[in-house]
Copies of this chain bind each other. A is one copy, B any other.
Amino acid sequence: MHTTLKTGTAAHAKLAERLRAGDLRSLARAISLVEDDAPAAQALLSACFPHTGDALRIGITGAPGAGKSTLVDQLARTFRERQHTVGILAVDPTSPFSGGAILGDRIRMERHHADAGVYTRSMATRGAMGGLARAAADAALLMEASGRDRILIETVGVGQDEIDIVRLADITVVILVPGMGDDVQSIKAGILEIADIFVVNKCDREGADRVEKELKAMQSFASSHGSWVAPVVRTVASTGQGIDALVAAVNDFAAWLLRDGHLRERREQQWRERLIEMVRAELLRGLQAHGMKAEDLADHARRITARQEDPFATAAEMVKAITGGNAHEQAV
């Protein structure tokens, strides 16, 4: 379908091979390709895909200041002690810049620099067309193909974007801290839906009891995930307190996932959503190939702003140009 892919197959097969052998430079290069949404990315991902499926992908989210990075580092350290290999993907949908992310990588790499068993990568927003969740999913897949068996996907905040990203994971850990007042209440709707495990971090602060009590009160009203009720684990990430209990909770949930097809069910749901998203992104690329270039778009926008053109009719015409009037034959 993509001639560029066919001609490039040998090179990508080689890159995929080196990546799968554990070469960190190849992994880094591969992630850059998927991050840039390069044409080469699809062949690479196809080559890596059959070698994935066994790692545990752990999504970690929480408000800014909740101590996510420290907690993730502690988890990585503990997994390493238990002979796992670790990939850390730190995603920041609120930042349009990668500068901060890169700085964060450096600080972290320094911390784990003697240990090739922990690979860390940051990602930030990629401009208006989005695709951060897709890039994060692909990067996690590549980390897995490179032999990492614990993938930690860390994201800032609890908006829809963050929810989309942590929902890529097999396990979702939501971090709260005492003393953030109304925040627990105001984010509860989104959080109750996605959390498999709650962490009350900085639990040496006043108010930890209240946060835990509120969480449990909320849970009693919420629909549970089948037979799993998200436990509340208390930690002080900066000292390592509670990390073993968190790892135990992660392992408990992993065991639950493997029972009664829960993991399969969850992953099938994720693939249903990802397929739709992949097709949507590809169609948009097709649109750009079909003459919706920057100048045309600017002309339309100018006439629309001046109320000389109907944006709803314009959008319909653009769809027709791509599909040959094909897209709605069954819909109308």
Contacts and interface: CB of A to CB of B under 8 A. Distances in A.
A292 B285 CA distance: 19
11 contacts: A1-B316, A100-B189, A159-B161, A264-B306, A268-B301, A271-B305, A275-B318, A279-B318, A282-B319, A286-B327, A289-B327
Given A160-B94, A160-B130, A190-B94, A279 B2 contact: no
A93 interface: yes
Interface of A: 1-4, 42, 45-46, 49-50, 52-53, 63-65, 93-97, 100, 125, 128-130, 132, 156-163, 181-183, 186-187, 189-190, 193, 264, 267-276, 278-280, 282-290, 292, 297-298, 300-302, 304-307, 310-316, 318-320, 322-332
A151 B267 CA distance: 42
Contacts of A163: 94
B319 A286 contact: yes
Contacts of A331: 2, 285-286, 288-289
B264 A328 contact: no
Contacts of A93: 159-160
The copy count of this chain in the complex is 2
A interface secondary structure, majority: helix
A189 B96 contact: yes
Given A64-B182, A269-B301, A332-B3, A283 B327 contact: yes
Contacts of A301: 267-272, 275
Contacts of A320: 1
B286 A328 contact: yes
The 9 closest A-B pairs by CB, nearest first: A159-B159, A286-B327, A64-B186, A278-B315, A271-B301, A289-B331, A289-B330, A95-B189, A268-B301
Nearest to A265: B305
Contacts of A156: 186
A276 B129 contact: yes
